[in-house]
Structure 1
């Protein structure tokens, strides 16, 4: 039976993008709306955060353990992993033809060291499309990979099958693609793995993959993380959480034996205790597939 506990009472408005760095024993995650990057160290229980000047959609580890990559509203920037000071701008997203309301959303480094990052509109429910971009090492250009995405979100790679999985929260789908030599999706190979329409009541959000090739997905507004077969899309198990609004998940710990889950704020008298916190789940026999990939600086 899975055991869930509060790891860190972070108080996030919109917690997202948890990522474990095995080199430092730190787990990073962001509060998008709070414009903060949080740093949690399980060994000591220490927790701190630093403020940025823009909403931060995602962070990625880099080949330098002292530097993170942060996707702000338009810019992809280096961030000092200790002080939070921003450094050079690696890339800037193209203009959306004067349309306001766009920002970067979920993203991750690929196994080959590139960055895959989504770009979304705040009013995605009204049909404003998002896109998926790639940033390759030694380049300053964000290359469009997918267009017409409703709400680009979670990503995961199965290196053994050379596959990349991608969540479109608006379409409520998880799609598998063959990965190219940079770890980015080959568009023509798209195959929908899971589609569970809920009229956006329980949308799939952030995602990770375990050592069996199964996908673990935070199901927004459901109070649960759901495990799907990476091959068939069949729901294999569901882990309930003590909060209603999980957002993303990742495996961490020295054996990748814990599933860490970020959450977002709840309002009203029915709000769960510790909403907006970081939770840790131990699931017997389940471990992460591989340490988080790093963007190659």
Structure 2
């Protein structure tokens, strides 16, 4: 069991979407419910917080040197300090929905999901943004999480959080999430699956909401490693550092009772632990000049 380090006691309401930006050797992540994006420079220890407002679900690097943030119903450019007022794209979805989680694949395409913010209607879905073209890919459910993509670009892993299921879709023949197979199911006693990410061996790491842990699954769906965290709501991992062998973990305080918060004062903090198998570099979103 690796030693878990508590590295930023920021008390995020809903810490999510950690991203290692290799260009600047910094970690970025969101606090969806507080409308914030955070940045950590591990080398200097500098910590910065940017007030974006709304509900920023994810942040990804883009090929203009900046980032793209998914907030509300929109994809917005972010230069590292402020959002561009004009959206790159607006996603047509139910009024009560918002964008939630995302990944950029090695081809520079953005896979991202939406969810019902009230967490009751199966109106969430996975979308693909490819050089200005926006398309709905499938994966309909109440809360989408992930997605993540294998290094060869063949498989997309998509999480149906309330269904406690991680799905695998073969996209080698197209971009739609159809005829998927169950990769893993999470027992109700173990919490619910949140964000997923891939390492260099195409093993899938998932944070367990209400489960006090992160898990690593082999490509055949077998559980091969569990890492315990000191708080219940573990949301997602990102691999950083020069060798991509530091796992950074976001967590959340939202939904915990006062008694639970007293018992887990580190909830909402950022954690880190070392891994033997490195992660893979984040893809860089190809904007393609489109808005």
TM-score normalised by L of structure 1: 0.89
Give the corresponding residue for 2:259: 269
Report the Cα distance in structure 2 between the residues aligned to 1:76 and 1:31, rounded to whole angstroms: 17
Report the Cα distance in structure 1 between the residues aligned to 2:41 and 2:212, rounded to whole angstroms: 25
Report the Cα distance in structure 1 between the residues aligned to 2:97 and 2:105, rounded to whole angstroms: 23
Q: Which runs of 4+ in 1 moved over 4 A?
A: none
Give the corresponding residue for 1:88: 86
Report the Cα distance in structure 2 between the residues aligned to 1:39 and 1:72, rounded to whole angstroms: 17
Report the Cα distance in structure 2 between the residues aligned to 1:128 and 1:168, rounded to whole angstroms: 10
Report the Cα distance in structure 1 between the residues aligned to 2:38 and 2:143, rounded to whole angstroms: 24
Give the corresponding residue for 2:152: 160
Report the Cα distance in structure 2 between the residues aligned to 1:15 and 1:204, rounded to whole angstroms: 15
Is the partner of 1:112 in helix, strand or coil?
A: coil
> Which residue, out of 190, 199, 202, partners 2:191?
202
1:254 aligns with 2:250: no
Cα gap change, 1:281 to 1:147, in 2 (>3 Å): closer
Indicate conservation of the 8 Å contact 1:177/1:185, yes or no. no
1:4 aligns with 2:4: yes
Cα gap change, 1:5 to 1:185, in 2 (>3 Å): farther
Is the partner of 2:33 in helix, strand or coil?
A: coil
Deviation of residue 291 (structure 1)?
0.5
Indicate conservation of the 8 Å contact 1:106/1:206, yes or no. yes
Deviation of residue 262 (structure 1)?
0.3
Indicate conservation of the 8 Å contact 1:79/1:87, yes or no. no
Report the Cα distance in structure 2 between the residues aligned to 1:117 and 1:161, rounded to whole angstroms: 15
Deviation of residue 133 (structure 1)?
1.0
Deviations, residues 154-182 of structure 1 (Å, cap 9, x unaligned): 1222223722211111211111112348x
Give the corresponding residue for 2:49: 49
Indicate conservation of the 8 Å contact 1:205/1:220, yes or no. yes
Indicate conservation of the 8 Å contact 2:252/2:267, yes or no. yes
Report the Cα distance in structure 2 between the residues aligned to 1:29 and 1:92, rounded to whole angstroms: 22
Report the Cα distance in structure 2 between the residues aligned to 1:267 and 1:45, rounded to whole angstroms: 32
Is the partner of 2:225 in helix, strand or coil?
A: strand
